[in-house]
Structure 1
Amino acid sequence: MMTAQAAPEPHESARKAELAGNLARVEERIESACVAAGRKREDVTLVVVTKTYPASDVRLLAELGVRHVAENRDQDAAPKAAACADAPLTWHFVGQLQTNKTRSVAGYAHYVHSVDRLRLVTSLSRAAERAERELGCLVQVALDAPSGSVGERGGVAPDGVEELAEAVAGAQMLRLDGVMTVAPLAGPYAGNPRDAFERLREISTGLREAHPAANMVSAGMSSDLEEAVLAGATHVRVGSAVLGERPRLR
């Protein structure tokens, strides 16, 4: 005798409908940007940034067809990934990463977008070896960082990309997949995400001369995804446009 499946709670149905509507609007934006750029829609991957939102939302997103989700704090990401381990999801870590968190991150993340220093490469490699999991790595570029330094929100200065990329490519259990940036709030690119993303495209093109497979370009968020798509982003990281305005952090 078959057991009837429990009906979803009213608030869960309402939340799922809200997320579905938001996803549809974001999808329309990406599709329009692809048309404007002369690109195929399938060339751009939507990564939904679920930071500050519960695992229940991640499950609803998976039910709605989302396959890529991102977090920026390990203390939130690790339990959320464990709670959703049976969902068909690819996990991206996109925040600044401390070396003492690499062992945890290597246990669930498929990609780390925020590789910005040699010490982190070494730590991630050791953690990935222990976990017996290959990690896809993106070099985070701080377009506003002075030569030889790290940006305030993470990221290596443009002139440090090549050295860091070589370190990733040569590290055990790490795979160099491309580059990432966040549109700068200061410096020559402040308020001009299109030019910032075009600069990232130039850096990506240069990187692919030595590493042809490093073709991921992670750029653009809720406010500037169109500019990112026009500048060649392969992955856009969208949070509030899908999940709503974020609650205050604890």
Structure 2
Amino acid sequence: MSAATAGGAGPARRGELAARLDAVRARIAAAARAAGRADEPELIVVTKFFPASDVRLLAELGVRRVGENRDQEAAAKAAELADLGLEWDFIGQLQTNKAKSVVRYAGAVHSIDRPQLVAALDKAVARENERRGAEGIPPRPRLKCLVQVDLRRAAAPGAADSPAARGGAAPADVPALAAAIAAAGNLELSGLMAVAPLGEDPADAFARLMVVARELRREHPDAAMVSAGMSQDLEAAVAAGATHLRVGSDVLGPRPPLG
């Protein structure tokens, strides 16, 4: 069964999603209380490999922001669900040749890890707005951009180009990337994103991320978004101070088999 047909949109699936979503929201609320936070991070539900019918059900349940990491899948879902007014976050590694497609639907890209991608996205937004202008469509807003930080302890400048990297710029590279985004006329520097390294205590990793975030805000006060935490480590991310959480499997269930 493929992602296009898995799940279904019947009452049983809606009930399953509602129960899972309520459980995740309860975890977030409990984590915020435990951390002494007066606020709660915003939930981005990661819907990769799940059908558009699931996303529609999630929208009925109050989800307004969804994350995808493959352009072809995301573009198709965004087109099919355009009537819902959702905000689409692109969270996966992005090739520069996909920039033109991504800016047609994404409100934010979380995975900025190299200067070439900054330039490609800035140019793509400009061309998209030219297209919209020619068709009498209002321009899109500036694209929200987050620098993805490689939290591996061994990450060094240029880490995004390392064969072993899971994605992300070394902390030392963040200021230059942030400055490039801030200087781009069609982009908005929104903050940072990171994934806790495999085999490491996520609390320690997210604590290092918050150090980078504080340094970023000294130069760019409005870049306050910190996208961190997934199903397995959202409590650690909330405790560290994340503003946005990317949760997939705990809301949608096991990933459907592809085929």
Q: Does 1:198 align with 2:207?
A: yes
Which of 63, 67, 71 is residue 68 of structure 2 equivalent to? 71
CA distance, structure 2, for counterparts of residue 93 and residue 52 of structure 1: 14
Q: Does 1:135 align with 2:148?
A: no
Question: What TM-score does the superposition give when structure 1 sets the normalisation length?
Answer: 0.92
Counterpart contact for 2:9–2:53, Cα < 8 Å: no
Aligned twin of 2:169 = 156
Gaps of 5+ in 2: 1-7, 130-139
Code of the residue aligned with 1:130 in structure 2: it is R
| Aligned-residue offset at 1:153 | 1.6
CA distance, structure 2, for counterparts of residue 23 and residue 49 of structure 1: 12
Aligned length: 236
Q: List structure 1 runs of 4+ shifted beyond 6 angstroms.
A: none
Deviation string for 1:119-157 (max 9, x for gaps)? 000000001111223100000000122233216221001
CA distance, structure 2, for counterparts of residue 59 and residue 178 of structure 1: 28
Q: Does 1:211 align with 2:223?
A: no
Which of 234, 237, 256 is residue 247 of structure 1 equivalent to? 256
Q: Percent identity?
A: 58
Q: Does 1:147 align with 2:157?
A: yes
Q: Does 1:48 align with 2:58?
A: no
Code of the residue aligned with 2:72 in structure 1: it is Q
Aligned twin of 1:58 = 55
Aligned twin of 1:113 = 110
Question: What TM-score does the superposition give when structure 2 sets the normalisation length?
Answer: 0.89
| Aligned-residue offset at 1:11 | 5.9
Q: Does 1:167 align with 2:180?
A: yes
SS at match of 1:217: strand
Counterpart contact for 2:17–2:252, Cα < 8 Å: yes
Counterpart contact for 2:9–2:54, Cα < 8 Å: no
| Aligned-residue offset at 1:99 | 0.4
Q: Does 1:226 align with 2:223?
A: no
Counterpart contact for 1:148–1:159, Cα < 8 Å: no
SS at match of 1:92: strand
| Aligned-residue offset at 1:88 | 2.7
CA distance, structure 2, for counterparts of residue 241 and residue 32 of structure 1: 16
CA distance, structure 1, for counterparts of residue 9 and residue 112 of structure 2: 39
Distance 1:170 1:15, change over 3 A: same
Counterpart contact for 1:113–1:138, Cα < 8 Å: yes
SS at match of 2:167: coil
If asked which structure has higher relative contact order (CA below 8 Å, sep 6+), I would say 2
Counterpart contact for 2:9–2:57, Cα < 8 Å: no
CA distance, structure 1, for counterparts of residue 9 and residue 247 of structure 2: 23
What is the root-mean-square deviation of aligned Cα atoms in Å?
1.2
Aligned twin of 1:7 = none
